[in-house]
Structures are given as C-alpha cells and as structure tokens.
Amino acid sequence: MMRDVLEHVLRRIIELLAVNDYYSIESLTGGVRLSASEIEQAIREYGGKVIVPPSAAFAFLDSIEVVNAKPRAWSVTMPLWTEEEGRSDLSVEMTIAITDGAVSRIELDNIHVR
C-alpha cells in the first residue's frame, strides 16, 4: 500500500523530468531543496535525455521510513532511465511525507550520479 503511494509520486516526478517541466517539479516540492534551475542544471550536466522507465523498473525503487519523522516520511531513491542508456548512473532522491494516508510533502533531495 505505502509502496504504491511512493511509486505514484516518484512516477509523477519522473514524468515531469522526462518532459523537462522543472517548474512543475519545483511547484510540487516547494523548491525546498532544489529549484527548477538546479534540477535543469543537474540533468544538463549529466547529458542524457531522461525518459519514463518501463513499469518493471520501479522494482529498483528503494525506500526506508525516516525514523521519528512527524508526519511519517520515507526516503526514496531510484535510478533514472535515459533515452541513450536505458538505466543510467543518474538517480533521484526524495523525501515523501504522508499524513492521514495522503501525500502531505514532497522534497526532491538530490539528482546525482551514483
């Protein structure tokens, strides 16, 4: 159940990365950790075109509950796929908070080479 919620949020962020809609990501995350320009810079520096991975790729989603977080939150990491490479060395890291079964906060912590 919780994994489905985390996957849904992650899928939405990756869909936005794939169409270069960094401002929508900044809006969803409040720009808390990364601004639209920082997200764009990370993708541009890597040099690949991010694509939405196949559904089976979400098996690589790694999540762990953040201890003592109020509201409950999960740290989520997943490799990104690019048009050029398929599964790439680039990964996305997020913190997703859940309140009363609904997503209450999304933070894009980092986009970096693993």
How would residue 114 be classed by pLDDT, with cut points 50, 70 and 90?
A: confident
Q: Domain with 103 in it: what CATH number?
A: 3.10.450
- Mean of per-residue pLDDT scores for the chain: 95
Q: What pLDDT is recorded for position 38? A: 96
Q: What pLDDT is recorded for position 7? A: 95
Q: What pLDDT is recorded for position 8? A: 95
Mean pLDDT on 39-63: 95
**Number of domains, the chain:** 1
Q: What pLDDT is recorded for position 101? A: 84
Mean pLDDT on 31-50: 94
Q: What pLDDT is recorded for position 2? A: 85
- 110 has pLDDT over 90: yes
Angle between helices 22-29 and 2-18 (to 10 degrees): 150
Mean pLDDT on 53-68: 96
Q: Give the domain range for residue 21.
A: 2-113
